[in-house]
């Protein structure tokens, strides 16, 4: 399937779980389409990029290991994603990656997620935290940065400053997540 063909197929994706899962399974059955999907995802000014992001998140939730050969492409470009419907799934994939990396159970991500990948994720997550983003990307970024702060000691104090500064101006969902993360930072 060419980029143009996949692009046309992504026009049929909507918010429904069934459609996102259908196209995620299509890509999973043809893993050679993942770089094509990522190319579309990183057409960041195109509305179809959001649909590619939704499908990519579903792919990662179904089989996170499929991202491994594409970690460079993914992390090199995440900072450029700016449309709200695309930022949320990209932030969620970052959370998936760090959750796997810092898992107590031995897994392949502990050998494949490099310092460069982590630094790119850190940069994107801090950008989402300080920019005018919706609650979901901020919540996923909080968790991601909390995990990364276990390795990079400077992250927790910086994250705490942002959470405390923004606490009063944010939604109740942000406050609940921030309170949880702040408590975890204080305990560690």
Per-residue pLDDT, 15: 84
Q: Which residues contact 135 (CB under 8 A, 6 or more apart)?
A: 170, 171, 173, 174, 177
The residue ranking higher by pLDDT, 173 or 82, is 82
Q: What tens digit of pLDDT does each residue of 152-188 get?
A: 999 999 999 999 887 777 777 888 888 899 999 988 7
Contact 24, 62 (CB under 8 A): yes
* Mean pLDDT estimate for the chain: 93
Give the per-residue pLDDT at 174: 80
Query: For the segment 90-136, what is each residue's pLDDT rounded down to a tens digit?
Result: 999 999 999 999 999 999 999 999 999 999 999 999 999 999 888 89
Question: Is 145 within 8 Å of 137 (Cβ atoms)?
Answer: no
The pTM of the full predicted model, rounded to 2 decimals, is 0.94
Residue 120 has what pLDDT? 98
CA 88/CA 82 separation, integer angstroms: 10
What is the pLDDT, as a whole number, of residue 48?
95
Domain extents in the chain: 3-187
User: Residue 150 has what pLDDT?
Assistant: 92
154/38 Cα distance (integer angstroms): 31
Tokens of 162: 């942002």
Q: For 32-73, what is each residue's pLDDT tens digit?
A: 999 999 999 999 999 999 999 999 999 999 999 999 999 999
The pLDDT, as a whole number, for residue 138 is: 93
The per-residue pLDDT for 73 is: 97
Look up the CATH architecture of domain 3-187: Alpha Horseshoe (1.25)
CA dihedral 94, 106, 109, 134 (to 10 degrees): 0
Instruction: Give pairs for 152-158: CB < 8 Å, separation 24+.
Output: 152/118, 152/122, 155/122, 156/185, 156/188, 158/126
Distance CA 118, CA 123 (A): 9
| CA–CA dist 38, 145 (Å, integer) | 23
Average pLDDT for residues 76-86, to the nearest whole number? 96
3-state secondary structure 136-180: HHHHHHHHHHHHHCCCCCCHHHHHHHHHHHHHHHCCHHHHHHHHH
């Amino acid at each position: 399937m060419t980029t143009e063909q996949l692009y046309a197929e992504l026009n049929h994706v909507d918010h429904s779980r069934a459609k996102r899962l259908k196209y995620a399974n299509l890509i999973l059955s043809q893993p050679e389409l993942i770089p094509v999907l990522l190319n579309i995802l990183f057409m960041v000014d195109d509305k179809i990029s959001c649909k590619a992001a939704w499908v990519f998140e579903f792919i990662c939730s179904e089989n996170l290991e499929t991202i491994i050969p594409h970690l460079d492409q993914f992390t090199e470009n995440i900072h450029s994603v700016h449309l709200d419907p695309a930022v949320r799934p990209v932030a969620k994939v970052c959370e998936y990656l760090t959750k796997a990396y810092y898992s107590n159970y031995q897994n392949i991500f502990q050998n494949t997620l490099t310092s460069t990948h982590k630094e790119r994720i850190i940069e994107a997550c801090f950008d989402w935290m300080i920019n005018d983003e919706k609650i979901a990307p901020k919540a996923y970024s909080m968790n991601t940065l909390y995990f990364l702060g276990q390795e990079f000691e400077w992250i927790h104090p910086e994250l705490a400053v942002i959470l405390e500064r923004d606490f009063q101006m944010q939604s109740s969902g942000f406050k609940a997540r921030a309170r949880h993360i702040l408590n975890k930072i204080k305990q560690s």
